[in-house]
Amino acid sequence: MNTSLERWNSIRKNIGNLQQKSLPVCLVAVSKAQPASAILPLLEAGQRIFAENRVQEAKTKWPELRVIYPEIELHLIGSLQTNKVKEALSLFDVIQTVDRVQLVDAILREWQPGVRCTRFFIQVNTGEEPQKNGVLPADLSALLGYCRAASLPVAGLMCVPPIDKPPEPYFSMLHARAREYNLSCLSMGMSGDYEIAIEQGATHVRIGTALFGERR
């Protein structure tokens, strides 16, 4: 059975081969539900960018790991409740799931000089699925304009396409929107479709299962 380190090396090599035809691609290791003991081998090998779904889980393991590896960059890729914003801004370097005006307002109330978080992505519900978070494509322009008017530094867009449909049209649409709004970062693609995402212009791919194996 391949270890997480072997899988990490294989994925990095694959990304390197693919990104020659595109922009440099950042591997974001999704460590949700993984204990520190599973994360340490990747940290020791040089991986520094990780993602968590929940503020509370990140709070239990990353402060201690950061003592040893202070250059860790942590991304929030799960839905953020407004009552968790203050904690999130102190834990995460990047929040990828900005998706509504109320959340932007909550961030602005707490976002002050000295907080850890300095970059934000807008999550777009590219498939317009009612069960998923994310701003609808038709409302993206208004939300981005609201963020920019408030000087919130939006670095890019993020999406999770429908699982039961080919992802290419959704990745392509997000890429086109990023270019339209002059955004340099695109977080799209996970374990099962990151290669397609890179071909469609992803700058960040979020990989968990392909790195750590199936969660038990």
Is residue 23 over pLDDT 80?
no
Query: Residue 15's pLDDT band (boundaries 50, 70, 90)?
Result: very high
Q: E strand or H helix at 27, and its extent?
A: strand 26-30
Region 9-34 average pLDDT: 89
Output the pLDDT for position 24. 86
Computed over every residue of the chain, the mean pLDDT equals: 94
Residue pLDDT, tens place only, 31-62: 999 999 999 999 999 999 999 999 999 999 99
Residue pLDDT, tens place only, 145-193: 999 999 999 999 999 999 999 999 999 999 999 999 999 999 999 999 9
Which has more confidence, 114 or 183? Answer: 183
CATH number of residue 22's parent domain: 3.20.20.10
Output the pLDDT for position 173. 97
Cβ neighbours of residue 158 under 8 Å, at least 6 residues apart?
A: 77, 96, 97, 121, 122, 123, 124, 186, 187, 188, 204
State how many domains the chain has: 1
How big, in percent rounded to 5, are the helix, strand and coil portions of the chain? 45, 20, 40
Output the pLDDT for position 186. 97
Please state, in angstroms and rounded to a whole number, the distance separating the CA atoms of residues 121 and 158: 6
Output the pLDDT for position 197. 96
Please state, in angstroms and rounded to a whole number, the distance separating the CA atoms of residues 193 and 113: 37
Region 5-33 average pLDDT: 90
Please give the model's pTM, rounded to 2 decimal places.
0.95
Output the pLDDT for position 114. 86
For 158, the domain range is: 4-212
Which has more confidence, 113 or 38? Answer: 38
